[in-house]
Structure 1
Amino acid sequence: MDNLFVFMLLLSAFAVPAELQQRVLLYGIVGALVLRGIFIALGAAVLANQSWAFLLFGAILLVTAVKILRDQASGHGNDVDVSSMRSVKLLRRFMPVTDTYQGPRMFVQQGGRRAATPFALVVSAVLVTDVVFAVDSVPAVYGITGDPYLLFATNAFALLGLRALYFVLEGALSRLVHLGYGLAAILAFIGTKLVLHWAHGVWPGVPEIPTLLSLGVIVVVLALVTATSLYATRGDQRGEEHPEHQTGHVSHPGGVPRSRADAGTDTPPRQDRR
């Protein structure tokens, strides 16, 4: 769900044309699948030899939960400043960026020089977010089960369904204004579970959280934030007017409109004919 929400924000921030959204999502999903496989394999190798890795993974999740909670509470949880992303800065440092999309092409010849298109920028931004989510999500799934094959299979099925789910839930996700609080609570809970698991190995008297209880907590939290979000945005058609969900300032790279709404701001007003 968090991948889907960020993909939606990036597609809007880069004003990706409708005909290119499927391709961007495909690149993002394939990148996420490859990275999840790598991180799951590395995590399995580390956990098999180093028990302190559970403590490290738990600490990562707790820190991430605090960050998400702070961003959500400050109202900046949905801000996307694409011009400050390292991938965008790095690409723009080495080559110019065209002002318009050139179909699915990432690079074109412009004025005798090789130039990147906005499509290349959005793909690089999506791949960078894939890395971030892989770092956060792999420790989280190891808090549920330690079987790497099961972890990769569940991640693969979840990611492969994102492409179709995006277009189904594009409007509904904008109403989940409390999703950040739910994600923070889930990550904090799983982080605590991993820390307790490590502590149980050192001090057998420390209790562990059962897997079924973990799944129950996740389901309850997601159901709760969904219900509260829908209630909070019950007067909005798509939740875009709700103050907790307003997207902050979005800087645009290389002349790309900041959002779909901004893409037409330069069009002169149409005069009524009488």
Structure 2
Amino acid sequence: MESIASPQLWVITVAVLLGLLALDFVITRRPHDVPMREAVAWTVFYLALPAAFGVYVWLAHGGTRGVEFFTGYVVEKSLSVDNLFVFMLLLAAFAVPPALAQRVLLYGIAGALVLRAIFIAAGAAMLSAGTWAFLLFGAILLVTAVKVMRDALRGADHQVDIDKMRGVRLLRRLMPVTDEYHGARLTIREAGRRALTPMALVVAAVFLTDIVFAVDSVPAVYGVTDDPYLVFTTNAFALLGLRALYFVLRNALARLKHLNHGLAIILGFIGLKLILHWAHTVWSWVPDVPTPLSLAVIIVTLAVVTVTSLRATARTERQGVTASAP
């Protein structure tokens, strides 16, 4: 199936994306701790955009492409929540002032968009070279799913050790680093020479994590659709609302105890779907998993792990109250 995007549609999409990023940079130019009302308003806006775009895809290009877009968006949004949790840990590890948090997130989102575009182009080139790319992408997702599930079953938390990040260590060797933040500035002139601020280090750390997440994210959405345009737009829409969503969910992220269990199931399912799709191109009798079934599995999985997470958190809180009671 050919891509739905003409060169003109690509130009319009990239222009709108750059405009939205520019708007976010204007909003974050004045450092401030984002109140809940503002965060909710922007979150609703960035949820309405993909919903409207998905309706356009459905009406203009058919139900099959519409379902692919909505399925890919749900996959990317669920993976981006895990990305957001790591961002939260990085902000805490670098002691980022609350007023600067949204600028750090915006740098992270911009970097993630650039990396996703590169990985998406590479993925499209691999798929055009042969169906073996589906087998490779499926294997990557299955390996990732096993690792995520193993860590989840062990109860291993995300660990952020900034001293072990090679990029951060390299920057510290190349240039001096100030002890304090200087607003949103990445460098300042101190004692007659240019020095990095802690803001530069946290931005570098965020970019490094973006690379890791791009490796999992792009193959996952290619398991839903083979259209690079839909792969790009699902990634873009999922990432654009992260800045506002962080301030809505920052107190709730820790309550999603079973999120990684669900992500492991989703990644494993899509990995298996990709391998079956590759096998289907070789042996026609091998079943090919339909996209509507994928959407149903993903939604049910996310719903179940959300309910079980909230119940587990409530049970832990009750046990804590009971233990502290005289």
TM-score computed with the length of structure 1 as normaliser: 0.83
Rounded Cα–Cα distance in structure 2 between residues aligned with 1:76 and 1:113: 42
Q: Which moved more, 1:179-188 or 1:109-118?
A: 109-118
Q: Which residue of 1 aligns with 2:110?
A: 30
Q: Deviations over 1:32-63 (max 9, x none)?
A: 11211221122112102221010110111111
SS in 2 for 1:100: coil
Asked whether 1:191 is paired with 2:271, we answer yes
Q: Deviations over 1:61-80 (max 9, x none)?
A: 11111121222233333211
Tell me which of 170, 178, 198 is aligned to 1:118: 198
Tell me which of 219, 224, 228 is aligned to 1:148: 228
Tell me which of 209, 228, 247 is aligned to 1:167: 247
Asked whether 1:218 is paired with 2:298, we answer yes
Alignment of 1:1-274 (within 5 A): 1-234=81-314
Q: Which residue of 2 aligns with 1:272?
A: none
SS in 2 for 1:114: strand
Query: Is this contact kept in 2: 1:106–1:119, CA < 8 A?
Result: yes
Cα deviation, residue 84, structure 1: 0.9
SS in 1 for 2:195: strand
Q: Deviations over 1:186-214 (max 9, x none)?
A: 11111111111111111222111111111
Structure 1 residue ranges, 4+ long, deviating more than 6 angstroms after superposition: none
Number of aligned residues? 239
Rounded Cα–Cα distance in structure 1 between residues aligned with 2:213 and 2:268: 16
Rounded Cα–Cα distance in structure 2 between residues aligned with 1:97 and 1:76: 32
Q: Which residue of 2 aligns with 1:247?
A: none
Higher relative contact order (CA 8 A, sep 6+): 1
- For structure 2, list consecutive stretches of 5 or more residues without a partner in the other structure: 1-80, 321-326
Query: Is this contact kept in 2: 1:9–1:80, CA < 8 A?
Result: yes
TM-score computed with the length of structure 2 as normaliser: 0.70
SS in 1 for 2:147: helix
Query: Is this contact kept in 2: 1:77–1:180, CA < 8 A?
Result: no
SS in 2 for 1:109: strand
Cα deviation, residue 236, structure 1: 6.2
Query: Is this contact kept in 2: 1:101–1:119, CA < 8 A?
Result: yes
SS in 1 for 2:314: coil
Cα deviation, residue 102, structure 1: 1.6
Cα deviation, residue 158, structure 1: 1.2
Query: Is this contact kept in 2: 1:64–1:136, CA < 8 A?
Result: yes
Rounded Cα–Cα distance in structure 1 between residues aligned with 2:112 and 2:271: 22
What is the letter of the counterpart of residue 95 of structure 2? A
SS in 2 for 1:233: helix
Rounded Cα–Cα distance in structure 2 between residues aligned with 1:153 and 1:225: 26
Cα deviation, residue 85, structure 1: 1.3
Q: 1:124 to 1:196 in 2, by over 3 A?
A: same
Rounded Cα–Cα distance in structure 1 between residues aligned with 2:179 and 2:155: 30
SS in 1 for 2:157: coil
Rounded Cα–Cα distance in structure 1 between residues aligned with 2:115 and 2:127: 18
CA RMSD in angstroms, aligned pairs only: 1.7
SS in 2 for 1:79: coil
Query: Is this contact kept in 2: 1:68–1:77, CA < 8 A?
Result: no
What is the letter of the counterpart of residue 145 of structure 1? T
- For structure 1, list consecutive stretches of 5 or more residues without a partner in the other structure: 242-274
Rounded Cα–Cα distance in structure 2 between residues aligned with 1:110 and 1:159: 35
Cα deviation, residue 235, structure 1: 5.1
